[in-house]
Each structure stands twice: as C-alpha cells, then as structure tokens.
Amino acid sequence: MLLQRPGSKKTVQELADIFGVSRRTIFRDFNALSEINVPINYDRYTGYGLVEGYKMPPLMFNSKELATIMIGLNFVKSQVDQQMVQDATGVELKIKNVLPNELKVLMSSLEEHTIVDPYLRFNGNQKKGGDWYLLNAAIADKKRLQFTYTTKTGERSTRKIDPYLLVYFQDHWNVVGWSHKRGDVRSFVLDRVESPVILEENWTPKSKMDIDSLIFRFNGLKKKVVLEVEKSEIGRMKAILPAKIIKEKSKKPKKVRLEFEFDNMPFLNSWLLQFGTTVKIIKPAALISLQKKTLQAMITNLEK
C-alpha cells in the first residue's frame, strides 16, 4: 500500500493525482479503510498516512486470479462512461501498488495485451452521465432517486424513481426502476441522466418481478415478431438480440425460426439491417413494409 511506505504521507490532492480520481473518491476510500479498522492518521503539514508500525496484510493473488481481475477491469475501461473508466484505472493502480514485483510484471503484460471491444475502444466517444456509483448505492440501500432526464426529443424534466437495476446494453448503461411520473417501470439511459440525488425516502418493489421481467418489459404495445435466420448467424443474433426469445425451431437444413415480442418497429428495422440477407422477416406485416421502404430509400440514395 502506498501509505505504508516510510515517509510516504500524502495529501488528498496528491493521492487523487496519483490514482487519477477525484478528491471525493479518496475520502470515500479513507472511509472504507476506517470501516475495516485500518488506522489512518493526518498531519496538517504532510497529509495522510498509516499509523507508524501498522502493516497492511498483502494482497495474495495467483496468476489466474489476477488475469480474471484484469479482464474485468479492461471491460470496465472499455465503457463509454467516463467515470467508470476513471474508477477502473484507479483500482488498477491501487492493486499494482501492493503486488509483489513478479505479479506487477504479469499485470502490466495483461494490461497491454488484453483488449476488450476494440472498436468501442478506438472509435467510441466517452460520455458523462448518471453517477453509476451513486445509483448503485441507491439500489443497495433501497433509497429513491431524483434526477433531471433528457428524452430523445430533447425534453428535460425532473424524474423520481425507485431504482431496481443497472443494465448494460452493448454501448450504453440504463437504470431500470419504478417511475413516479409514469406510475410504471421505466428504463433510463445513464448518459441522459443529470444531477442524480439520493433521497431520504425508502422504497419497496410495487410487485414481485424477476430480473428478466424488468429487463424485457417495454413501454408500448408489443407485437409478435417471427424471423427466419441462417444457422451461420443464429449465434450472433441470439447474443445481441434486444428481446427475450419465446420460441426457437429449425425449419430448413440451414434455417432457424425465432419468435419474440417487441414494441419498437423502427428500431428493430434498423437493427436487423446489420444481418443483411441472412435474415428474413416472416411477421408482422408492418415490419416487412417498413424494411421494404428502408431498402428502397437506400437504393434511391445509391442511384443519385
């Protein structure tokens, strides 16, 4: 541990600069250390350090455990949320500071040669949005949240929710909870959440819901969707399909029929274009019509 070294007292600002985090994060870490009875002392001239003579027990990881940690940290560092990236970098530095030298070398190698989601890493823009740590704390403590939310159309309003889940969808995070404005479960994109505040109001679930029912609950009228997918693409589609599959059945030697429910046909139409001719829409008619119009518009653009 950095503060365990002789003569290594640091100010809060120095620690924040070393680990690339905010002063608030450093104070939060001091509180966490106090909760596990690690004696921290403070000198107004030199800063914070451990009580003389106290030794922190070393972190003991084997190489496989360390590799698992690095995969998790690299996933978090690939996120579009700026705060998550900063927090993961801070955790990485703290672990590296207490590892024996041979594991530090392994950790540096894993960090350099393990890449998660390279396209997002090199092409994505990091965003500010919703304090994920604060939201997680509200979920754990069953406290209500209040924040300013901006819809897709640009409308801003104050929302109060009972937060149930944080969910990651490919390139963004959502908080799912009971909306007091709508009187129903709603999902909010984190990068549209501003100034979240934990209220001193406890909540209990309005009804018993499992995780699947919360994630796959939609705000509009759902329609049954049936697709015929080539077997070569079925694995990829099932991995990223934004819905819960109701039925799956082999129809031809190289085709699989999938059935699910969805409420946003324009979104689904655009999403399906990535699969090209490997997917055929069987129903609903509205989705077939929408895709025909989209393809015709694309052809018209090519001919201009």
**84 in the same domain as 33:** no
Above pLDDT 70, what percent of the chain? Answer: 83
Axis-axis angle for helices 63-77, 82-98 (nearest 10): 160
Residues 231 and 298 in one domain: yes
Domain termination site, one of 84, 106, 123: 123
- Is the same domain home to 151 and 170? yes
- Token couple for 302: 């090519």
Q: What are phi and psi of 157, to 5 degrees?
A: -155, 160
Report the pLDDT value the prediction gives residue 227, as an integer from 0 to 100: 96
191 and 162: one domain?
Answer: yes
Residue 102 lies inside a defined structural domain of this protein: yes
Q: How far apart are CA 278 and CA 276, in angstroms?
A: 6
Residue range 45-54, pLDDT digits in tens: 778 877 666 6
Does the pLDDT at position 56 exceed 70?
no
**Residue 140 above 70 pLDDT?**
yes
CATH number, domain containing residue 6? 1.10.10.10
Choice between 160 and 223, residue whose per-residue pLDDT is larger: 160
d(CA 217, CA 244) in angstroms, rounded, equals 10
Q: Is residue 218 part of a domain?
A: no
Counted domains in the chain: 4
pLDDT in tens, 159-196: 999 999 888 776 678 888 899 998 888 889 888 898 89
Tell me which of 123, 157, 175 is where a domain ends. 123
Residue 142 belongs to domain spanning:
132-209
Q: 246 and 194 in one domain?
A: no
pLDDT at 128: 64
Residues 240 and 271 in one domain: yes
- Mean pLDDT computed over every residue of the chain: 81
Residue 147 belongs to a domain: yes
Task: Identify whether 58 is part of a domain.
Answer: no
Residue 57 counted as domain residue: no
237 and 193 housed in the same domain = no
Supply the DSSP symbol for 4.
G
DSSP per residue over 92-135, as a string? HHHHHHHS-HHHHHHHHHHHHH--SSHHHHHHPPPB--S-HHHH
Query: Does residue 217 lie in a domain region?
Result: no
- Residue at 192: amino acid letter: R
Task: Please indicate, yes or no, whether residues 107 and 154 belong to a single structural domain of this protein.
Answer: no
Q: Are residues 227 and 298 in the same domain?
A: yes
* Residue 62 in this model has a pLDDT that exceeds 80: no
Say whether both 102 and 172 belong to one domain: no
The answer on 92 and 33 residing in a single domain is no
- Among 24-28, 50-54, 113-117, 165-169, name the one with the lowest average pLDDT: 50-54
The sign one gets for the Cα dihedral 130, 131, 134, 139 is positive
Same domain for 90 and 150, yes or no, is no
Q: Report the pLDDT value the prediction gives residue 52, as an integer from 0 to 100.
A: 67
Q: What is the mean pLDDT of residues 227-233?
A: 94
